[in-house]
């Protein structure tokens, strides 16, 4: 197995998906469809996405000694992910029970289970795998203190996907390069910090406001509208002359931030579950290969565009060959 270039530290869940006519009211019982069980959890999703696009990836996390744990192991190892530090612990594998109503809206109950065992102590024991990795990827479905241990202890580049929305300490924010958030997570972080988000239609201003919270760079994802990249202007930024800039650069305001918009690909979206996770996994692989953040976001955008055209999370993520086919 190759030395991992990307180490994802995070959650693994079984997604238990069922259709219901309507959400149960208090005290009510509703009959749902058969349950469809698929491998999920933000951390495992990101590792699978990264492995499928050809990255040398390892996953650090915990599952239970049960069928759901086996399902996750299978999915991760089929994507070529190194599972040396995926532990089997004495707790049920985490689950996300996802109830889908006919209008397509989801109601989700997450039971963390084994993910609670991704503790600071466990991360100290596995430091040899994430401590020196070129790129480490974090999300917020494991204990916050564990996120902080890795964010502050990693020597490589740290990608922090602040999802689901939760408070981040200043040390985690300062380590994030980039901080990756969608619009609702961005709104949460800015409100939590008491910072103004800027006008709702000015996503460049929102990305700049996020940059002022302390991360080294920001990627704000906007669903079908693509993504905005904000970075502190680097003196040594070198751009290949043939790099066609599809997006329009927003001129910097009071600070030395460079903000670039990367449009999404126009596709027929069928299921956006895991879109953000496929985006983060692909982004990490491209950063580990030495790409600029903007270039990495362009690859991530292509990967996520394929993912939304297919059902499911991990099952919908494209391989490198599928990505190349989709582009022609």
Closest-CA residue to 207 (of 188, 177, 229): 229
Distance CA 115, CA 134 (A): 24
> By CB under 6 A, is residue 316 in contact with ligand ADP?
no
CB 131 within 8 A of CB 275: no
List 15, 82, 177, 277, catalytic entry: 277
> By CB under 6 A, is residue 83 in contact with ligand ADP?
no
Distance CA 273, CA 54 (A): 21
CB 173 within 8 A of CB 151: no
> By CB under 6 A, is residue 159 in contact with ligand ADP?
no
HSE-CB of 229 using CA atoms within 13 angstroms: 24
Beta bridge partners of residue 231, listed in sequence order:
217, 258
Q: Tell me how far, at minimum, the Cβ of 129 lies from ligand ADP, in Å.
A: 26
Distance CA 174, CA 146 (A): 16
> By CB under 6 A, is residue 305 in contact with ligand ADP?
yes
> By CB under 6 A, is residue 182 in contact with ligand ADP?
yes
Q: Is 255 a catalytic residue?
A: no
Stretch that binds ligand ADP, among 54-62, 76-84, 234-242, 272-280 (CB under 6 A): 272-280
Strands 176-182 and 157-161: parallel
Closest-CA residue to 249 (of 222, 229, 221): 229
Give the residue nearest to ligand ADP (CB).
276
* Continuous segment of H or E residues that includes residue 183: helix 183-192
Q: Tell me how far, at minimum, the Cβ of 143 lies from ligand ADP, in Å.
A: 21
> By CB under 6 A, is residue 230 in contact with ligand ADP?
no
Stretch that binds ligand ADP, among 7-15, 118-126, 209-217, 298-306 (CB under 6 A): 298-306
Q: Contacting ligand ADP (CB under 6 A), which of 72, 135, 140, 227?
A: 227
3-state helix, strand, coil in the chain (%, to 5): 35, 25, 40
Distance CA 320, CA 79 (A): 11
Closest-CA residue to 49 (of 295, 325, 322, 328): 322
> By CB under 6 A, is residue 86 in contact with ligand ADP?
no
Q: Contacting ligand ADP (CB under 6 A), which of 43, 112, 156, 226?
A: 226
Residue closer to ligand ADP by CB (options 289, 326) is 326
> By CB under 6 A, is residue 264 in contact with ligand ADP?
yes
Q: Phi and psi dihedrals of 8, rounded to 5?
A: -100, 125
Q: Contacting ligand ADP (CB under 6 A), which of 265, 289, 291, 326?
A: 265
Q: Tell me how far, at minimum, the Cβ of 99 lies from ligand ADP, in Å.
A: 18
> By CB under 6 A, is residue 301 in contact with ligand ADP?
yes
Residues in touch with ligand ADP (CB under 6 A): 163, 182, 221-224, 226-227, 264-265, 267, 269, 272, 275-276, 279, 301, 304-305, 308
**Active site amino acids:** 277
């Amino acid at each position: 197995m190759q030395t991992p270039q990307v180490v994802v530290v995070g959650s693994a869940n079984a997604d238990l998906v069922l259709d219901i006519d309507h959400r149960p009211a208090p005290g009510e019982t509703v009959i749902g469809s058969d349950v469809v069980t698929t491998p999920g959890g933000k951390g495992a999703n990101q590792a699978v996405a990264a492995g499928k696009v050809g990255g040398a990836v390892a996953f650090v996390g915990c599952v239970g000694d049960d069928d759901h744990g086996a399902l996750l192991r299978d999915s991760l190892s089929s994507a070529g992910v190194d599972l040396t530090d995926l532990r089997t612990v004495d707790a049920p594998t985490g689950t996300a029970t996802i109830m889908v109503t006919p209008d397509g809206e989801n109601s989700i109950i997450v039971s963390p289970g084994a993910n609670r065992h991704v503790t600071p102590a466990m991360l100290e024991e596995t430091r040899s795998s994430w401590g020196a990795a070129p790129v480490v990827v974090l999300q917020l479905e494991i204990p916050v203190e564990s996120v902080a241990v890795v964010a502050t202890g990693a020597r490589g580049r740290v990608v922090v996907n602040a999802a689901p929305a939760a408070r981040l300490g200043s040390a985690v924010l300062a380590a994030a390069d980039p901080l990756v958030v969608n619009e609702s997570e961005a709104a949460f972080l800015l409100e939590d910090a008491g910072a103004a988000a800027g006008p709702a239609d000015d996503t460049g201003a929102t990305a700049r406001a996020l940059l002022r919270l302390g991360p080294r760079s920001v990627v704000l994802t906007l669903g079908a509208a693509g993504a905005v990249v904000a970075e502190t202007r680097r003196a040594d930024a070198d751009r290949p002359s043939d790099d066609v800039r599809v997006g329009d650069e927003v001129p910097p305001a009071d600070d030395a931030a460079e903000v670039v918009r990367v449009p999404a690909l126009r596709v027929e979206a069928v299921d956006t579950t895991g879109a953000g996770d496929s985006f983060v996994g692909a982004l990490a692989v491209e950063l580990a290969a030495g790409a600029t953040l903007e270039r990495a976001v362009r690859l991530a955008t292509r990967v996520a565009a394929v993912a939304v055209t297919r059902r499911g999370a991990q099952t919908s993520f494209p391989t490198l060959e599928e990505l190349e086919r989709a582009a022609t």
